[in-house]
């Protein structure tokens, strides 16, 4: 079904359009280098995501069908069901978010009659979103990405017994200050800066006792807020080493092509397109910090002015201008969003 044939006008579409007021230039080649597509990470999931696309576009339905087949179960029933707890389980949330992002991407490409590389200089994804970015850019096969993310979720959950690890958000301190907090809190345990999301928004991860100490120390050092996060495991820290080993074995057997456009990698915060380097960076990402703030800053320095989030939620598009005032964030997760986005891209 064509987007133009859907009844998307009115308040819903106007709202979507308001979120995609992108910067423009006259030269189309320059526009490519002013744009990047980005893909959300865990926490952006919500029951029902992608359902309107699957109901109206066979190309989107085919994405969810392929992921179901790759996993040997109906993950789509969990995505479109009412059990938010089942969807939140990391082994479900990771492939589910990827499937939704790829459904959005494929509808956008089909309706707009272009490939991502025709419209953007880079792709990037937050944590698991890096797999979505690589799949969208043709570096990973969809079925392989689904199986890798299921394994990644299971391995990360199994790496640390429930209750022995934790993560906490620290607001109002910069990355260097949070690193000092983590070092002071470690006291022989693991406590590391895991996600550098935006100025004054850093997440620490590690042993539960150490992270609890970090919350107290951060407040003493002037953090506006420091609070434990409702997560099931301490992601992106040294405690994830067993998961990194399992991912290394799986990735060694996975075909990876050069992405087009290039990937701005989480742990490197700059563009890469070498399949072997990408393989190694995906392994390092399991225990390494997500350098999202630095990644956006790097893209801005290359001339990127528009950061378009494809998939569920608006987390990354919301962070864009907080990171660099030159960058405008937009998002597309529904048919209405895609219609408004295509109008801006054409």
Contacts of 250 (CB under 8 A, 6+ apart): 147, 148, 151
What is the rounded distance in angstroms from the CA atom of residue 37 to the CA atom of residue 107?
14
Which residue of the set 207, 236, 295, 317 is catalytic? 236
Continuous segment of H or E residues that includes residue 296? helix 292-301
Do 22 and 328 touch, CB atoms closer than 8 A? yes
Continuous segment of H or E residues that includes residue 243? helix 241-252
Which of 299, 329, 297 has the alpha carbon at shortest distance from 314?
329
Longest Cα–Cα distance in the chain: 61
> Is 127 designated active site?
yes
What is the rounded distance in angstroms from the CA atom of residue 150 to the CA atom of residue 152?
5
Contacts of 282 (CB under 8 A, 6+ apart): 130, 131, 247, 251
Continuous segment of H or E residues that includes residue 213? helix 208-220
Give the angle subtended at the CA of 123 by the CAs of 96 and 321, to the nearest 5°. 95
Which residue of the set 101, 127, 132, 295 is catalytic? 127
| Other beta carbons less than 10 A from residue 159's beta carbon | 22
What is the rounded distance in angstroms from the CA atom of residue 156 to the CA atom of residue 308?
28
The 3-state secondary structure of 56-99 reads HCHHHHHHHHHHHHHHCCCHHHHHCCCCHHHHHCHHHHHHHHHH
Give SS3 for 153: helix
Do 49 and 101 touch, CB atoms closer than 8 A? no
> Is 236 designated active site?
yes
| Residues tagged active-site | 127, 236
């Amino acid at each position: 079904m064509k987007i133009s044939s859907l009844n998307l006008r009115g308040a819903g579409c106007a709202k979507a359009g308001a979120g995609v007021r992108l910067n423009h230039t006259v030269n189309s080649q320059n526009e490519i280098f002013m744009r990047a597509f980005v893909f959300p990470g865990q926490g952006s999931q919500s029951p029902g995501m992608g359902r309107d696309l699957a109901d109206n576009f066979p190309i989107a339905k085919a994405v969810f069908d392929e992921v179901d087949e790759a996993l040997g179960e109906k993950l789509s029933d969990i995505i479109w069901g009412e059990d938010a707890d089942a969807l939140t389980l990391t082994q479900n949330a990771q492939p589910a978010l990827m499937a939704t992002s790829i459904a959005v991407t494929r509808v956008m490409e089909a309706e707009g009659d272009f490939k991502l590389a025709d419209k953007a200089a880079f792709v990037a994804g937050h944590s698991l979103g890096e797999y979505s970015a690589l799949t969208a850019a043709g570096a990973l096969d969809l079925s392989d990405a689904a199986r890798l993310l299921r394994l990644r979720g299971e391995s990360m959950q199994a790496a640390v017994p429930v209750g022995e690890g934790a993560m906490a958000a620290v607001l109002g301190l910069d990355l260097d200050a949070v690193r000092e907090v983590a070092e002071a809190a470690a006291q022989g345990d693991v406590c590391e800066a895991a996600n550098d999301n935006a100025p004054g928004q850093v997440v620490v991860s590690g042993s539960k006792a150490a992270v609890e100490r970090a919350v107290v120390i951060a407040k003493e050092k002037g953090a506006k807020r420091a609070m434990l996060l409702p997560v099931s495991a301490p992601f992106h820290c040294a405690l994830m080493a067993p998961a990194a080993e399992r991912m290394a074995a799986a990735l060694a057997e996975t075909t990876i092509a050069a992405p087009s456009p290039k990937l701005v990698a989480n742990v490197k915060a700059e563009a890469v397109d070498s399949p072997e380097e990408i393989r190694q960076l995906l392994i390092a990402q399991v225990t390494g910090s997500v350098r999202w703030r630095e990644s956006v800053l790097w893209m801005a320095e290359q001339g990127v002015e528009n950061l378009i989030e494809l998939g569920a939620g608006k987390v990354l598009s919301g962070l864009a201008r907080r990171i660099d005032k030159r960058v405008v964030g937009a998002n597309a997760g529904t048919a209405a969003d895609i219609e408004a986005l295509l109008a801006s891209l054409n």
